[in-house]
Amino acid sequence: STNAPKLVAQLHAAYLEQGAHFLDAPITGGAIGAKKGKLTIFVGGDQPSFERFAPVLRAIGDRPIHVGPSGTGIVTKLVNNCAGQTLNLVLAEIFALGLKAGAAPLPLWEALRSGASGRRRTFDVMIDEFLPARYSPPNAALSIYYKDMMLATELARDLKVPMRFANLALGEYTEAMARNLGNQDGRIAMTLPLERLGLKVAEDPEAIEEILRRDPPAASDSKRGTEREPS
């Protein structure tokens, strides 16, 4: 289940005192995934314990993934849930804009799920630029992202549609533009939250590709397997 990292730390310490193994291993996939046996398990703990109990975990879900030391399993679950639950409200906000501007619900939904964002799994957006920290040459320049966000939020203002999430995003793109990053890929704005915490992400492209070989992206193009965005 989903619990607080503090509780997991307390349980880990208690088990260690008894000389026992401890893995925090929350699952994701929901009721439908459980019925189909398609569950991902986020596992935190030492590598030997993970390898020892992997057969038990595979009896529960088809994809146990060791994400790091004790506590990182539950942290991953919280990040996963936060992403999904926040995106629900983001989608509702932008959908409301489309409806207010005159689009009908079902055609709008059909069109959106067929677009670049709709065809791609949520975290596949990180593959090409964010994870390897490659923002040049751009797939779609920050200046284009900024222009699109300005147009969308201007439409919202004209229609008197509140756009809380979109305006927060526009603030990030505006800050990135103020740093003269307009010719870089638009996803360079994703580095701003990391920078504020003194963090950086720059992963080995080969390590990224190895993960993609095990679990290919849902959408595809000729280059890498991720849906490309029009400029």
Residues designated as active site:
77
**3 state SS of 62:** coil
For β-strands 40-44 and 63-68, DSSP reports them as parallel
What residues have CB less than 8 Å from 83, skipping those under 6 apart? 122, 123
Q: What DSSP character marks residue 205? A: H
70 neighbors 44 (Cβ within 8 angstroms): yes
What residues have CB less than 8 Å from 216, skipping those under 6 apart? 225
**3 state SS of 152:** helix
The torsion angles phi and psi of 21, rounded to 5 degrees, stand at -80, 150
